[in-house]
Structure 1
């Protein structure tokens, strides 16, 4: 706990320096960017400056993410802005290339950087954490190229520490499950369509409504591969008839449960 405090103190010192001017925080509404936004708003309050929370509305993220981001930005007193982006066309990722994350991040953060310029803001922050640096994240290259700052990673704050620090500072989404873009549910080289993304979004929403926390519905052609936390597998299997019926109504053909359970980045195994 003491180490967490030291890291947060370092984060606060960095943000007090950067918020001597207005700043932009790329804000998804998840725990990482929410902790960063909380710290930035606290620092800006002392400096008498503004924090703009910029949320990107895309086809690759559930629509509910925007509602959450609006609420949390309001709770923290940030000035909220929304950018609508069609990254399937604009970033050239319809065929889900291996460097999809790089192309997408480059396209999105160029627009965030352009918005920042219209607001006369030089400093753009985002919520990559320490753990992200040790996974297959080609989008990190785009952040470096565009000079986007990642304060949580710079302070070596891990995902677990993000949640602990967010809880202690009253961040309402401290326990919110990670919600990476829906394209991560499809194998690389798969043609991405809005219909597929909507099916996946609805399927995952249903499984969460059943009471499961970490949920991924990976789509391999006609086969839906469901990941939940390993300790929840028995519970999911006991409800397999209900689950299968509902997912088939959504358009899925074959329904499977991954016996390894939930693991972030399972589509990256052969390339990471």
Structure 2
């Protein structure tokens, strides 16, 4: 499938890649570099309070190690009242800000095509942001070629990308229940809470924000470990401002805040 991807990209000429440091966008960036050459590719990293500092630092280091040109573009979605309101359509307003910033940069530098890392399975969940991508004519080569998440990881590993097995990430706002206002202060609290748990040795997790309650999601294989470390976890999360700490026995699952939109209990 790698050759199919390279062949798909070559006719595009010059491109900008919506880059986050995740495995999907990194694969697209690497493929573009291989197919088009460094001078014809620029990675664009949208920077706002919804992006954890650790993710930003990792993305910058990875792009540098790949020899890619990287531009960091500040985006203002967190200042948009429609985004702050945190309706189920929040992701649309976020992506609208992000993709408009990327599209503006591309147009200013005579780049016709902006690509993202959406794969063929990303449309299976609630994804309002895809409407913004369509409106701004963002290309999704992995999706168009039918790359599954497994395909993406296998291709990334074959190309020697160090993040081929990196756990899936999502913006910090995805930890907040719909209807709860999203503010930079709240996003900072969630970022600090998750960073504290990473420091305890957990590699994959989500801290879901429910007012004074932090609902911790970890993979099922880490549930017992989390129980064994409950005192350290409780102290760490209380230090970031939470009064109560709960462990979600259903385990980590992507998009769990969307379960209320599907008629299930979150």
Residue in 1 that maps onto 2:55: 65
Deviates more, 1:209-218 or 1:122-131: 209-218
Matched, 1:55 2:49: no
Give the aligned partner of residue 83 of structure 2: 93
1:243 pairs with one of 233, 245, 248: 233
- State the SS of the aligned residue for 2:72: strand
> Match of 2:105?
115
Contact 2:212 2:244 in 1 (8 A): yes
Give distance in 2, aligned partners of 1:66 and 1:91: 25
Aligned equivalents of 1:129, 1:212: Cα separation in 2: 26
Any runs of at least 4 consecutive aligned residues in structure 1 with deviations exceeding 4 A, and if so which? none
**Residue aligning to 1:220:** 210
Q: How far has the Cα of 1:86 moved from its partner? A: 2.1
Q: How far 1:91 moved relative to its partner?
A: 6.7
1:76, CA displacement in angstroms? 2.0
Q: Compute the TM-score of the two structures, normalised by the length of structure 2.
A: 0.95
**Equivalent in the alignment of 2:180:** 190
Counterpart in the other structure of 2:167: 177
Equivalent of 1:34 in 13, 26, 34: 26
Alpha-carbon distance between aligned partners in 2 of 1:85 and 1:179, rounded to the nearest angstrom? 19
Q: What TM-score comes out, normalization by structure 1 length?
A: 0.93
SS of structure 2 residue aligned to 1:105: helix
Task: Assess if the C-alpha contact under 8 Å between 2:83 and 2:93 holds in 1.
Answer: yes
Task: State the match for 1:24 in structure 2.
Answer: 16
CA–CA distance in structure 1, aligned partners of residues 235 and 45 of structure 2: 35
Unaligned runs of 5+ in 2: none
Match of 1:4 in 2: none
Runs of 5+ unmatched residues, structure 1: 1-6
| CA-to-aligned-CA distance 1:119-169 (integer Å, 9 cap, x gap) | 100011000011101111111111111110001111111122212211121
Q: RMSD value over aligned CA atoms?
A: 1.3
Give, in whole Å, the separation in 1 of the partners of 2:126 and 2:181: 21
| Deviation sequence 1:58-82 (CA, Å, 0-9, x none) | 1111012222222222222221111
